[in-house]
Amino acid sequence: MKKIKFLFILLCLQSSVFSQTELDSLYHIWEDKNSVDSIRAFALTDYIYKGFFTSQPDSALILTQHLYQFNKETKNDDGLIEALTLRGYIKFRMGNYSEALASYNEGLEIAEKIGNKIGAADILTKMGYIYHDNEDVVKALVYYQNSLKIYEEENDLDGQGSIYNEFGNIYLSRGEYDKALDYYQKSIAINIELNEEEDNSSMYINIGNLYLDKSDFQQALAYYEKGLAIEKKKDDKLGIASALSGIGSVYLELGDSSKALDFLQRSYDISESINDIQGGASTLLGIGDIYLESKNYKKAIAICKKSLSMTKKVGDLGGQEYACGCLYEAYRALGNTTEALVFHEQMIFIGDSIKTEDLAIKLQQIEFSKKIMADSLIQIEKDVKVELQHKSEVQRKDKNRNLAIAIGTISFLLAIGFFSRWRYVKKSKDVLKKEKDRSESLLLNILPAEIAEELKEKGEAQARDFELVSILFTDFKGFTEMSAELTAAELIGEINHCFKAFDLICEKYKIEKIKTIGDAYMAAGGLPVPSVDSVKNTVLAALEMQSFMTQRFSDIEKTDGFTFEMRLGIHTGPVVAGIVGVKKYQYDIWGDTVNTAARIESSGAVGQVNISHYTYELLKDNPQFTFNYRGKIEVKGKGKIDMYFVTKANTRT
């Protein structure tokens, strides 16, 4: 069976632990230049898999590059495919998905060129892993199905079984337990047929996860223990940790805290020894729950803080939300309301981020359902064609007798067809309704509601003049310098994190996000529906944005992470607003007010909200704000402009 399988959406690598002597022997073969090239390549591949693959990914990557160069020099195409696949999977485990896909695509191109169909299928499967891990079920399904098609054509039962396991994981993640169990059982049956019972361990653990989800704890325990026995036999540390964690979770649900803590701690110790951050963080959350329930709040805080740090490293929002909840409960129980409030706010913010991501996942699920429906219809069509062909062959043997049978069969199939058509039309209407709702949701995500409604009714939206609009601009200090030092993924990840928070703040104060331009964020208060409070609300939103960035910078300073300091400026005046283009609509604004607002921002200071004299005049009598006159500031193309720093007063609204 394939050595790499999903376990609860995470990847499990089945690898044996070799002694140092055996590893030295493999390396000696690789260094022996008198050996056959293919044997040397095989020895180095084995050396990487069995010595460094799980425990030292950086070292494994360096060795894999040597393997790639060697196979390229010796024109060993099959070896090149193996090296590229290996490099892709290491990159994937390190979280570098784009480079992983690039390696896989290079290997796939070679495999297709030389007609290595099984090699191509294996790569397609691993590409499916990446999209599945990113919860892009639609793309994952496409890659898995393309891989399965090749395995079926090549009569590769081993490969078919691995894909059935992935289908099971997809259905498990969607809560469709019966379908998930059916695919797991199919995969298990193939392994038994191939006399590879050892490869069923991951399926047994997956089925344990399934029964744990269903609260059938006895069944879950039985399957976890079955998987654990095999993993111990193989001495697969990652598999052992997964099974122990599952058993601990069962005992936790059964209320046996002592046993739960024992199994979870053993699981965590193994995860820590093999640097499995994701698995270790998840296990720590269970341990934190136990200490929280037993009112050992100081221990719970230490455990949940460690888990929070680990979940941040791997970008696990669900784990971060859970850890913040644990810390909130523990600090509240200790009477430390200040710290409790900090983690409560973090928990709410992360929860909002998850809701935003859930919307994208739901849209993917719509596509997934459509894909499943289409595949089902294709399969029905194939089955009907096979049936008709079979009937035709029977007719040739006894034409007269089978004429009646053929007519009856066709009538039966037509009846099925009409019934299927009726069901299809019914389902299509439901799908169309969902698609309509989806389209409206996407339209509202890029256009203000009033503009979107006008566009739907008239097919166009007229540009409009607004006399009093407050334009807000933000800009990150040192962005250009920082971008030269960080990877694109790190840079975009932090910008996205900040801009998500800004989106929620804009929504809170009912101001319109206009667009982002690189590291700049632009919003406007007072359109498309004018409001008497728009100037005030824009400034309140600006103050909250600066407060968020100041707090984030303070928090990040305590860790190894990074973020930005920010300038922010506001100017109020007349603008023209409307839709740009006929494709990929964008709601935009124009006018001198926009240009001035940009200059106010660039003339501001880090951590401050800088406003123009005109904005100040509109708010100067509002007791919610305190103003600090900066004097006349020289502005390029505008001359000298009176500017003010605004802060929130201590009085209540």
Q: Which regions of the chain carry the CATH code 3.30.70.1230?
A: 464-648
Higher pLDDT, 440 or 72: 72
For the segment 288-295, the average pLDDT, to the nearest whole number, is 89
Percentage of residues of the chain with pLDDT beyond 90: 23
Given this structure, which CATH class describes domain 276-446?
A: mainly alpha
* Cβ-contact 212, 242 below 8 angstroms: no
Higher pLDDT, 93 or 254: 254
In angstroms, the CA 511 to CA 617 distance is: 20
* Cβ-contact 184, 165 below 8 angstroms: yes
- Cβ neighbour number for residue 110 with a 10 Å cutoff: 17
Q: Could you give the count of Cα atoms lying within 13 Å of 32 in the half-sphere of its Cβ?
A: 14
pLDDT band at 446 (very low <50, low <70, confident <90, very high): low
In angstroms, the CA 460 to CA 580 distance is: 11
pLDDT for residue 450? 61
Q: Is 386 exposed, middle or buried (0-12, 13-18, 19+ CB in 10 A)?
A: exposed
Tokens of 574: 């007349």
Torsion (CA) 67, 70, 73, 79 in degrees, nearest 10: -50
The DSSP bridge partners found for residue 632 are 642
Residue 49, classed as helix, strand or coil, is helix
Strand 512-517 to 464-476 pairing:
unpaired
pLDDT of residue 420 exceeding 80, the answer is no
Q: Which regions of the chain carry the CATH code 1.25.40.10?
A: 1-195, 276-446
pLDDT of residue 368 exceeding 50, the answer is no
The DSSP bridge partners found for residue 627 are 646
Given this structure, which CATH class describes domain 1-195?
A: mainly alpha
pLDDT for residue 447? 59
* Cβ-contact 76, 38 below 8 angstroms: yes
Q: What is the pLDDT of residues 21-58, one digit of tens each?
A: 777 777 788 888 888 887 887 877 777 777 665 557 77
Residue 586, classed as helix, strand or coil, is strand
pLDDT of residue 7 exceeding 70, the answer is no
pLDDT band at 302 (very low <50, low <70, confident <90, very high): very high
In angstroms, the CA 347 to CA 538 distance is: 25
pLDDT for residue 37? 81
Question: Which single residue is written with the structure tokens 């992983």?
Answer: 100
Question: Which single residue is written with the structure tokens 């069976």?
Answer: 1
For the segment 177-202, the average pLDDT, to the nearest whole number, is 88
For the segment 464-469, the average pLDDT, to the nearest whole number, is 85
At a CB cut-off of 8 Å and minimum separation 6, what does 345 contact? none
- Fill in the amino acid letter for 297: Y
pLDDT of residue 197 exceeding 80, the answer is yes
3-state helix, strand, coil in the chain (%, to 5): 70, 10, 20
pLDDT for residue 46? 77
Give the H/E segment covering residue 343.
helix 337-397
pLDDT of residue 114 exceeding 60, the answer is yes
For the segment 129-152, the average pLDDT, to the nearest whole number, is 82
pLDDT of residue 629 exceeding 90, the answer is yes
* Cβ-contact 464, 524 below 8 angstroms: no
In angstroms, the CA 228 to CA 235 distance is: 10
Percentage of residues of the chain with pLDDT beyond 70: 76
pLDDT of residue 545 exceeding 90, the answer is yes
Higher pLDDT, 148 or 7: 148
* Cβ-contact 529, 545 below 8 angstroms: no
Report DSSP letters for 450-473, one per residue. Answer: HHHHHHHHHSS---EEEEEEEEEE
Q: What is the pLDDT of residues 157-170, one digit of tens each?
A: 888 888 888 888 88
In angstroms, the CA 562 to CA 477 distance is: 13
Any idea which fold 464-648 has? Alpha-Beta Plaits (3.30.70)
pLDDT of residue 382 exceeding 60, the answer is no
Angle at 83 between CA 79 and CA 88, to 5 degrees: 150
For the segment 556-572, the average pLDDT, to the nearest whole number, is 86
CA distances from 296 to 124, 175, 333, 339, 494 (A): 48, 34, 10, 17, 35
pLDDT band at 407 (very low <50, low <70, confident <90, very high): very low
Among 208-222, 449-463, 530-544, 564-578, the least confident range: 449-463
pLDDT for residue 80? 87
pLDDT band at 355 (very low <50, low <70, confident <90, very high): low
Q: Is 255 exposed, middle or buried (0-12, 13-18, 19+ CB in 10 A)?
A: exposed
Most confident of 140-144, 273-277, 559-563: 140-144
Nearest in space to 12 (alpha carbons), one of 279, 225, 280, 270: 279
pLDDT of residue 217 exceeding 80, the answer is yes
- Note the helical H segments in 74-116: 77-93, 97-114
pLDDT for residue 418? 46
Question: Which single residue is written with the structure tokens 């052992």?
Answer: 240
Mean pLDDT over the full length of the chain: 78
Angle at 587 between CA 584 and CA 588, to 5 degrees: 120
In angstroms, the CA 416 to CA 419 distance is: 5
- Note the helical H segments in 477-533: 479-485, 488-508
Strand 512-517 to 4-7 pairing:
unpaired
pLDDT band at 582 (very low <50, low <70, confident <90, very high): low
At a CB cut-off of 8 Å and minimum separation 6, what does 649 contact? 623, 624, 625, 626
pLDDT of residue 604 exceeding 80, the answer is yes
Q: Is 485 exposed, middle or buried (0-12, 13-18, 19+ CB in 10 A)?
A: exposed
CA distances from 354 to 105, 235, 313, 322, 357 (A): 31, 37, 17, 12, 5
pLDDT for residue 542? 96
Tokens of 76: 């060993």
At a CB cut-off of 8 Å and minimum separation 6, what does 459 contact? none
- Burial string for 460-480 (b: 16+ CB within 10 Å, else e) reads ebeeeebebbbbbbbbbeeee
